[in-house]
Amino acid sequence: MLLLCTVFVVDDSITQGIVIGQTFWFYKTLPAVALATFCSYLINKNPIGFSIVDGLFLLFMISGIVITWFPARELTPITQTLFNVLILYFLIKIQLSQVHNSSVILIVCFLLSGFIEAVWGLRQLYGFTHSQHSLFKTTGSFYNPGPYAGYLAMIAPMALHFFLRGNNALNGKITRNAILAIAATSFISIVIILPSTASRASWLSAIAGCLAVMIFNNRQLINLFATVKRKKIAFISFIGLMALTVAFYSLYVFKKDSADGRFLIWKNTIEQIKDNPFGVGIGFYAGSYGKYQAEYFENKNGTEQEEMIAGVPQYAFNEYLQICAEWGIFPFLLFLTILALSISSAIKNKKIAPLGGLISLLVFAGMSYPFSLMPFVISLIVLIAICNSSEDYESINKPIARVPVFLFYISAFCSTVYIAAQQKEIYESYQAWTKSRYLYNTKSYETAEKSYSEEYEALKHNVEYLFEYGHILSNIKDYRTSNLILGRAKERSCDPMIYNILGKNHQALGEYDQAIEHYLFAMNLVPHRLYPSYLLTRLYIEINDLEKAKESVQNLLDTNIKITSPATEQMRNDMKNVLDSLEKTTSRSTTNDFVDGCENCF
């Protein structure tokens, strides 16, 4: 229960308090999970088996740990998380084998979490409590409505199953009625709040999971379909296909730019996978992706519409493509095999509730980024473990001996405690960074640099911290160190502002070729942004290359702006003045004086 409470964690005392706070909670909770599971094993002493899925999952996670360990040769946050997730899976599997109906208890906990989240969202919707994001009314405990809706969509099929049949899962009239009440209230509250999130991915995933629950809960429907004649099957299939086509098209039109933006990301991610069959490294997707999007627009492959919708994705908005891009093709195939065997096992053993939840989560993962958030990772592990568990202890032919089990528990407990103890120092660094950001935001760069430098070792894997630290160093004219920090940031992010600052650093150092390269990259990465063109124009004027300066100004004036603001209007007006000046004079001093007068445009 403590583990599943990860979804409710919102830590306002640190930067990125939702995502980071949930991760810290997971680290702190896992030693307690290991200890509790060990006590359960000592009390019940039921045999423990080892399945094919267990072996594949072990191989999959070890491959991830190896991928993250070798480039850095240290326990990075990703390596620690993967190691803990591996331990969690086997702890859950062991617990499921020790206590009868553990899977039912876990799913009821899911239902309770879904009900609490739905009520949380309803309170936000009607103004009784604040949202986690100023731009959205309904986010629950998440940062935006997308993941929030995805979590509710995952719970909905499980609630539906217990509402239809799950009340027979446990003995005792009071217990059955209690579960029925929890399932009904969870499902109804989710159905009420889900439309307000405007998340198409969650709607589709909820429908897919609920359909799976209804189909596999109704064997008569399956048998009836099997007896229908082929002509009727063809007719029904045609009608269903037409209905699906209309539904998908309606959802596409509902938020067309968002859908087109994801298609653009998927298109470039596929090219990324083709060039990197062994993966680009876990956590390095965004940095690598930026090169492909910039090259795509540089080669004039993008349409005008694509140039307008291009963004700066941190995720692929398709977990299957992102896993393949980061981990490589072989681990990706392992992952697909684990999922396929889990679904097959759930159908075979009639574990309909976790099957519905898993299908919903997997559909949502095809259109969003749930596995980048700890509550979804925990949910995936728990659902896979339940789908592959068996409460028939007599069916275990070759149970694992007690000595290896004891060794596993000792190593699991010690390692999780060690990792959790390390988090104390990192958490304090996050708190210090949160306080130091006030200095950064008020442009007290000299003082801020001292604070930021002290937290570098603990936070050097955080992109937002690296960007701010690199920007501070650039403003205090420590350009070389700034380039090193921002060089680390650009490996993990494709934010064009990183390249803009790198370009300004090289320009200040007199390294004009490198500066031009970074400005052009930022221009190609997100073509509808004006700032890189503005910086490039200033550089050409500084080196007295007036022909290229004219070309750069014209490019800026011809650029279609996605969002008009006072800053963009000021830029356009300034560039028009620059163009007029360049046409009237060839004097370098005159043009430099003019550019110096534009320093306060931003």
Q: Say which CATH topology domain 445-601 has.
A: 1.25.40
Minimum mean pLDDT range among 229-233, 236-240, 396-400: 229-233
Amino acid making up residue 354? P
131: pLDDT confidence band, cut at 50, 70 and 90? confident
Tokens of 304: 């005008």
Reported pTM: 0.88
Amino acid making up residue 475? N
Residues in the chain: 602
Other Cβ atoms less than 10 A from the Cβ of 249: the count is 10
Q: 474 and 446 in contact (C-beta within 8 Å)? A: no
Give me the DSSP letters along 304-324. HHHHHH----SS-S-HHHHHH
Determine phi and psi for 198, rounding to 5 degrees.
Answer: 55, 35
The arithmetic mean of pLDDT across residues 39-60, rounded, is: 88
What is the distance between the alpha carbons of residues 373 and 7, in angstroms, rounded to a whole number? Answer: 9
Burial of 494 from C-beta contacts in 10 A (0-12 / 13-18 / 19+): buried
Q: Which residue has the tokens 């000299």?
A: 446
Residue 385's pLDDT is 93
Minimum mean pLDDT range among 223-237, 274-288, 378-392, 515-529: 223-237
Q: 45 and 405 in contact (C-beta within 8 Å)? A: no
> Smallest Cα–Cα separation from 197: which of 246, 247, 137?
137
> Smallest Cα–Cα separation from 176: which of 186, 185, 187, 165?
165
Q: 67 and 282 in contact (C-beta within 8 Å)? A: yes
Q: 143 and 19 in contact (C-beta within 8 Å)? A: yes
What is the distance between the alpha carbons of residues 473 and 113, in angstroms, rounded to a whole number? Answer: 44
392: pLDDT confidence band, cut at 50, 70 and 90? low
Residue 391's pLDDT is 63
What is the distance between the alpha carbons of residues 223 and 237, in angstroms, rounded to a whole number? Answer: 17
Tokens of 4: 């599943």
Q: Is the dihedral of CA 196, 200, 201, 205 positive or negative?
A: positive
The arithmetic mean of pLDDT across residues 363-382, rounded, is: 93
592: pLDDT confidence band, cut at 50, 70 and 90? very low
Residue 101's pLDDT is 81
Distance, CA of 503 to chain centre: 29
Other Cβ atoms less than 10 A from the Cβ of 171: the count is 8
For residue 588, pLDDT beyond 50: no
Q: 388 and 345 in contact (C-beta within 8 Å)? A: yes
What is the distance between the alpha carbons of residues 595 and 434, in angstroms, rounded to a whole number? Answer: 36
Helix axes 479-490 and 463-475, enclosed angle (nearest 10): 160
Q: 412 and 94 in contact (C-beta within 8 Å)? A: no
> Smallest Cα–Cα separation from 465: which of 493, 444, 442, 446?
493
Query: What is the gyration radius of the CA atoms in the chain, in angstroms?
Result: 27
The arithmetic mean of pLDDT across residues 504-510, rounded, is: 92
List the chain domain ranges. 255-327, 445-601
For residue 599, pLDDT beyond 50: no
Q: Which residue has the tokens 């583990």?
A: 3
Helix ranges (DSSP H) in 476-545: 479-490, 496-508, 512-525, 531-542
Amino acid making up residue 145? P
Residue 60's pLDDT is 93
566: pLDDT confidence band, cut at 50, 70 and 90? confident
Question: Can you tell me whether residue 294 is helix, strand or coil?
Answer: helix
> Smallest Cα–Cα separation from 2: which of 114, 106, 143?
106
Other Cβ atoms less than 10 A from the Cβ of 587: the count is 12
